[in-house]
Copies of this chain bind each other. A is one copy, B any other.
Amino acid sequence: MEVRTVDTRERILDAGERLFMAHGYEGTSMRQITGEAAVNLAAVNYHFGSKESLMQEVFRRRLDWLNDERMRVLDELESEAAGQPVKPSAIVDAFFGTLLRMAGDENRGGMTFLRLLGRTLTEPSEFIRAFLAHEYQTVMDRYKEALFKALPEVPKAEIVWRFHFMLGATSYAIAGTDALRLVTDWQIEDEDSTDRLDRLVPRLMSFLLGGLRAPLPQF
C-alpha cells in the first residue's frame, strides 16, 4: 500500500460522498466522480469493484464510527445509571445529538455526509436500503430496548412510531437545510453555517423530546 493508493481511494470517496449527496446515486455518473476526484475513469472499478460497492464504502467509512460512538455513549449512560433506567432525553441526545455533532466534524464527513445520509433514508434503490438496514440493525435494537426501559408506561408500538417520527424530523432538518428552504421559500435568518448548526441542535432536541413525551393519542 503506497501513498498514492490511499490518496486515490480517499479522493474517490470524498468526490462520491459529495456528488451522491448533491445528485443522488442514480444521478451521479462514474465520469463525474472520477472527474472531480481527478483520477482515471477505471480507478473506481479497480479500487472498489463497482459503483454500488463504492456507494457502500462511502457509507461504511462514516457509519462505522458513528454507530460505534452511539454504542459507546449508550454504554456509558447505562453504566452511570447503574441499573436504573436512563433518562429519555439522554437517550435521544445520545442517538440524534451524536449524529448532529458529526456535522461539525469535517474529518468525519461533516454536513456533506449528514445530508447524504438524510437523503438516502428515503432513497428508493433496493441495495442501498438493504445495506443500511444491515448497518443499522444492532444499534437500533440497543436504542429501542433502552427507550422501552426508559418509558415503561408507553406502549412499545408507540415508542417505535415516535422513533420513526424523530428520525424523519432529524433527516429533514439536515438534508433539507437548503432543500426545504426552496420548498418553503422561507428565509431563516442568515447565520453562518456553524452558528446555524449550533442553534439547530437544541432546537431539534426540544422538538424531538416534546414529540416523544406528547400525550398518547386516544383511538
Contacts and interface: CB of A to CB of B under 8 A. Distances in A.
Contacts of A175: 122
A211 B214 CA distance: 8
Classify the secondary structure of A's interface with B: helix
Interface residues of A, number: 68
A19 to B, nearest CB: 10
A83 interface: no
A173 B168 contact: yes
Given A130-B182, A171-B172, A172-B122, A205 B188 contact: no
Contacts of A186: 140, 144, 160
A184 B217 contact: no
A144 to B, nearest CB: 7
Interface stretch (A36-44, A70-78, A131-139): A131-139
A203 interface: yes
Q: Which of A167, A186, A200 has the most CB of B within 10 A?
A: A186
Nearest to A24: B124
A27 interface: yes
Given A172-B168, A212-B210, A121 B217 contact: no
Contact of A216 (B24, B183, B206, B215): B206
A124 B219 CA distance: 38
Contact of A172 (B165, B182, B184, B202): B165
Given A23-B124, A129-B182, A202 B219 contact: yes
A65 interface: no
A81 interface: no
A157 interface: yes
Nearest to A129: B182
Interface string A175-219: 110011011111011000000000110111111111111111111
Interface of A: 21-24, 26-27, 118-119, 121-125, 129-130, 132-133, 136-137, 140, 144, 157-158, 160-173, 175-176, 179-180, 182-186, 188-189, 199-200, 202-219
In the A-B complex, list the 6 residue pairs whose CB atoms are closest, starting with the nearest: A210-B214, A168-B172, A26-B26, A202-B217, A211-B211, A165-B169
